[in-house]
Amino acid sequence: MAGAPPLAAPFVHFQPVHSNFVTLAVKGTLLKKSSLHIIYEVHSTVPFVIHLNSRAARLAIFSLFYLSEGIPVGFATVAMAAYMRRQGAGLAEVSAIVAAVYAPWGFKWAWAPLVDLIRSRRLGPSRAWILFAQIMMIATIAAILFFDPARNFALLTTLIFIHNIFAATQDVAIDAMAVRVLPADEVSTANGFMFGSQFAGIGLGGSGALFVAGWAGFNASFYFILGLMTLLLLFVTIPLREPPDPAPPPDQPLVSAIATRIRTFFVELGRGFFRSGRGPLVGVLFSMLPPAATALGLSLATAIQVDLKLSAELMGTIALATNAAGALGAVSGGWIADRTGRPRTCIAVFYALTALPTAFLATRFTGVAGVAGLTVPMFIAVLISYNLFYGMQQSTVTGFFMRITNPAVAATQFTGYMSLHNLAVSYSSVWQGRVSQSQGYAAMLYLDAAAAFVALLALPWMAATRKTPEPSAASGSPPDHAGSVTARPSS
């Protein structure tokens, strides 16, 4: 399997009993026929199917899925934030855009049981949800074309919020598929590639849209984003063939099954958090605290660029460079965590590293209001270094949570961890915008740098839910995974 191509398959399978999402016209030689399927050897260029039967295929597909998540995030938090700031929006309003992006991600646990319980055998248990979510994401972005965002801020934030409900649903389904499909020794590496691709998507959605807007006007950037998302839908999600789901279907009516799953979910959370020692409870607290220093990765970094009077083209170039740094950081962070076997230590180091460029930038401001004291080259260097460090912590933290997730309830349990993380980003954006507007950028950046260390106070107590064997004396010091590779929450 390792030598198989990652995307294309040498055979196209037709299943009349469970038909494909799209009808494929194939010219080839008939090789085999039965009551269930017909196999043709393809001789000409045809629409392809994608299987997750090799490491290369898994890394490629999950990376492309996370690319699709990053594109609209970059568009909203970079391109849209820049447009609104140029149109006279205040810092609190600009930050509200980011809050609208991340808030639904903080509550996606509420509908995650639907993803676990409502499955399609024909389209795949997770793929069906991804298809639905991507179509609705495209529709909600297209709706913004019909009004002026600068004059209808409430409608804009409402649509961004609705869009991210579907984006969060897609993320639940993608993560559930990843937990079922990825082998244990691929998890951190895959998360590195996934979040690296998400940074690349943010770069496409942010810098790409800014380039297009500078060349053909802001409305043209909408068509650019819609085109990218449609291509991913047509050439990744639709051709994908998800492995069969080993979990049996619920043996009760759907409404009762959902109610039972939600009740069981909270019962298990209570047992795991309050009856399994302090480790799981501290882990929840860690998720709710600020995920490192965040301000330079949110819309206020874009607002500073607008206040520096940078052109859309230069802002696009900066966004491209910073997201490339973030992608590199995500891949390298996941690799370092796997290589050292010490994810908690890596998380602590990476969190602290995000605070360094944040605090340094705060010292450069010479006044309370405005951007006096900043130089463009220095600001660019700070943003690039910050995004490198933020990418390193993001993939490492996510890999840590994914390793301790039970595959049987992947959509629900993993979502619980990450929802709190995203909620922390949302409330961080709100207070950062308000402090920046009332006290200036420097005060906000100092507070943000200090906030990065708050979560680290809880990190030493994030122990496993069950103990692992002690290493022998010959093995040296134990890896700092706290049993996360083998530990599973109580069932």
What DSSP letter does each residue of 31-46 carry, written as one string?
A: EEE-SS-EEEEE-S--
What pLDDT shows up at residue 458?
85
Highest averaged pLDDT of the listed ranges 116-120, 412-416, 443-447, 482-486 = 443-447
Global model pTM greater than 0.75: no
What pLDDT shows up at residue 63?
94
Tell me the C-alpha distance between 300 and 210, whole Å: 16
What pLDDT shows up at residue 491?
28
Residue 12's SS3 state is strand
Distances (CA, A) of 299 to 159, 206, 215, 304, 416: 18, 11, 22, 9, 25
Yes or no: say if 383 and 318 are a contact pair by the CB < 8 Å rule. Answer: yes
Q: Residues 10-31: what's their mean pLDDT?
A: 35
Q: Look at residue 409 and tell me whether its pLDDT is greater than 60.
A: no
Cα angle 292, 296, 297 (rounded to 5 degrees) comes to 75
Share of the chain above pLDDT 70, in %: 76
Q: Look at residue 465 and tell me whether its pLDDT is greater than 50.
A: no
Query: The tokens of 98 are what?
Result: 């980011």
How do residues 328-375 score in pLDDT, each as one tens digit? 998 899 889 888 888 889 999 999 999 999 999 999 998 777 899 999
How do residues 121-165 score in pLDDT, each as one tens digit? 888 889 999 999 999 999 999 999 999 998 899 999 999 999 999
What pLDDT shows up at residue 35?
34
How do residues 270-294 score in pLDDT, each as one tens digit? 554 555 555 556 777 888 899 999 9
Exposure string over 17-50, b if 16+ CB within 10 A, otherwise e: eeebbeeeeeeeeeeeeeeeebebebeeeebebb
CA nearest neighbour of 164 among 477, 449, 423 = 423
Yes or no: say if 390 and 329 are a contact pair by the CB < 8 Å rule. Answer: yes
Yes or no: say if 484 and 417 are a contact pair by the CB < 8 Å rule. Answer: no
CA nearest neighbour of 291 among 420, 444, 161 = 420
Tell me the C-alpha distance between 189 and 185, whole Å: 8
Look at the block and give the residue holding tokens 């398959």: 9
Domain formed by 50-244+252-465, architecture: Up-down Bundle (1.20)
How do residues 410-442 score in pLDDT, each as one tens digit? 555 666 777 788 889 889 999 999 999 999 999
- State which amino acid sits at residue 482: A
Look at the block and give the residue holding tokens 């690349």: 200
How do residues 194-247 score in pLDDT, each as one tens digit? 877 887 888 899 889 999 998 899 999 999 999 999 999 999 999 998 887 766
Yes or no: say if 126 and 174 are a contact pair by the CB < 8 Å rule. Answer: yes
Count Cα neighbours of 186 within 13 Å in the Cβ-side half-sphere.
18
Distances (CA, A) of 57 to 1, 53, 173: 10, 7, 18
What pLDDT shows up at residue 474?
34
Yes or no: say if 307 and 490 are a contact pair by the CB < 8 Å rule. Answer: no
Q: Look at residue 13 and tell me whether its pLDDT is greater than 50.
A: no
What pLDDT shows up at residue 281?
65
What DSSP letter does each residue of 306-368 carry, written as one string?
A: HHTT--HHHHHHHHHHHHHHHHHHHHHHHHHHHHHS-HHHHHHHHHHHHHHHHHHHHHH--SS
Domain map of the chain by residue range?
A: 1-48, 50-244+252-465
